[in-house]
A and B are shown apart, each in its own frame.
Chain A
Amino acid sequence: MTDWLRLSAEEWDAVRLSLKVATVAMLASLPFAIAIAFLLARREFWGKSLLNGLVHLPLVLPPVVTGYLLLLTFGTRGPVGSFLAEFGIVFSFRWTGAALACAVMGFPLMVRAIRLSIEAVDTKLEAAAATLGANRGFVFLTVTLPLIVPGIIAGMILCFAKAMGEFGATITFVSNIPGETQTLPSAIYSFTQVPGGDPEALRLTAISVVISLGALMASEVLARRAGQKIAA
């Protein structure tokens, strides 16, 4: 019975890698997501709908297309990839590439949640803060940001969950290298492709379910606590 629960080294690698990739994808995209959500919620500028479209594109494109576009752009011969390679930053066939793919896929969900919460902030409170002497930056840090914490948490969790489950873009961009780019979904996919791989696939599936459910429940608790703090 306990044997059934024991994970092989390869399976452990996949779990650890998935957690690492999803966490990095979530944290690294957060500042950009807040900035873009703020722009979309509050500013009018030329090309706003274009930016909005670009942000949401990964949501509607087939993930394989997104992965291929990432490969073309950030691959070692891609325009951005070759430039970054000169500074020693390489994405293709590395776990960092998996994180990039997950971040891009989770980004629209994160931006959307944060944008909605920014739009719900009463700008009258910000005007009040300004009359009390706070400049724009401080108004954002001391009033807007605390009020959108529930939206930020929701966005982070959505992005994390998307990253944990990301498969198509990741496998297209950085392939399926055990220990380097083989995340949980890739590992499950691999195990289902070999004869007798069912127990491994099932174990990893159970782990996926537990992690996803745990993340959702944690976000629920965090968001409720944050919501209570700021309830008017």
Chain B
Amino acid sequence: MSLIVDVRHQQGSFKLEASFESGGRLTAIFGASGSGKTTLVNVIAGLVKPQHARIIIDGSVLTDTVAGIAVPPHKRRIGYVFQDARLFPHLTVAGNLSFGEWFTPKVERYAARGQILDLLGIGQLMARKPRDLSGGEKQRVAIGRALLSSPRLLLMDEPLASLDQKRKDEIMPYLERLRDEIRIPIVYVSHSVAEVMRLASDITVLSEGRLSAFGPAGEIAQRLDLIPAEEREEGGAIIDMAVAAHDRAFGMTKLSSPAGDIYVPGILGAAGTPARLRIRARDVMLATEEPKNISALNILRGTVSMIAEAGPSAVNVTLDCGGSPVVARITRQSAAALGIRPGLPAFAVVKAVSVSGPTPEPR
């Protein structure tokens, strides 16, 4: 799968200029509100007519202002999950779900209804009207409706933004399964670092209408300078690992990757299950000698690869651990005391991690 996006569009005084090519399973478009994310996905969906643009999905041209091509939205076969769900109030859940199916030509239908209902856990809601659904249920039905239209690409515009944390946590695992089990590419718009780090395979960063970075999630995640100030605390490294073993006596799971081994509490997934680890920069301490007699379980060995200013008194130190970058935020004073410089071997003491991917075994 490939997605080529090249947009130059002006709306009033707002200028959007973004161009990227993605082959990833889930491309996140990340940026603060007002950075042009929604305009960009509306251009992809054909809901906004751009002044200059080229949108190509898997070789089929949807928009090309130079060649005068503008496929209307209803012929694009792009599933769109809106922030506000936009379920049809006069139809039941079943009617909403069938809506996309009706209009998809039979030969192009690939969506397996049963699988999608199971995956989203909405099978028991069929007879209800949208007004009788909770916010989380609405979003899941909206996702199901988009998927059942057998789209070539799924656009999700802040699908969790209107939900509280509990509902977000409820839907997240569904999104992960979606990404891993349904073979269509996803473009996911969000201003939340936590969501993007957890879900994305590639990240596009927009700021004030301009593309400020694009690349694989692992690379973009450690660029703390790209994260808006109010969310900077959430920044850090992501490392894709796999479940290696369980320690049932202590109730721990060992994850491994070329970066090293990490122990996390709980019995997670079967051995071999992919797990994405997020390590916030503020949860990492640095040591120049291997620490002993310390309560932190997880110590990764690496080499300092980069030092970046982070405000008046802090620096972000990037450690290369077996090819995976791990970022530590430490004070400038500590950096000077330890003599941190590029090329120096060092140890990252990881105080806390969040893991996404494998499902925990109930206790």
Contacts and interface: CB of A to CB of B under 8 A. Distances in A.
Contact of B131 (A127, A130, A146, A232): A232
Given A135-B74, A232-B130, A124 B86 contact: yes
Contacts, number: 67
Contact of B99 (A142, A147, A232): A142
A232 B77 CA distance: 26
A133 B100 contact: yes
Nearest to B85: A128
A229 interface: yes
A131 B131 contact: no
B90 A132 contact: no
Interface string A123-157: 01101111111110011001100110000000000
A139 B72 CA distance: 13
A132 B75 CA distance: 9
Interface string B75-87: 1111110101010
Q: Interface of chain B, helix or strand or loop or mixed?
A: mixed
Q: Which of B45, B75, B90, B145 has the most C-beta atoms of chain A within 10 angstroms of its own C-beta?
A: B90
A128 to B, nearest CB: 4
Given A124-B84, A231-B131, A232-B130, A129 B89 contact: no
Given A124-B82, A135-B74, A129 B99 contact: yes
B77 to A, nearest CB: 7
Contacts of A133: 74-75, 77, 100, 102-104, 149
27 contacts: A124-B82, A125-B86, A131-B45, A131-B76, A131-B80, A132-B74, A132-B79, A132-B100, A132-B103, A132-B146, A132-B149, A133-B75, A133-B77, A133-B149, A134-B74, A134-B103, A135-B74, A138-B103, A139-B74, A143-B88, A143-B90, A146-B90, A147-B89, A147-B90, A232-B89, A232-B130, A232-B131
Given A129-B88, A133-B77, 20 more contacts: A122-B86, A124-B86, A125-B89, A128-B82, A129-B99, A130-B72, A130-B74, A131-B76, A132-B74, A132-B100, A133-B102, A133-B103, A133-B149, A134-B103, A135-B72, A139-B74, A146-B90, A147-B90, A230-B90, A231-B89
Q: Kindly list the 10 A-B residue pairs having the minimum CB-CB distance in the complex, ordered from nearest.
A: A133-B103, A132-B100, A131-B80, A128-B86, A130-B73, A232-B89, A230-B90, A146-B90, A130-B74, A132-B149
Interface of B: 45, 47, 72-80, 82, 84, 86, 88-90, 99-100, 102-104, 130-131, 145-146, 149
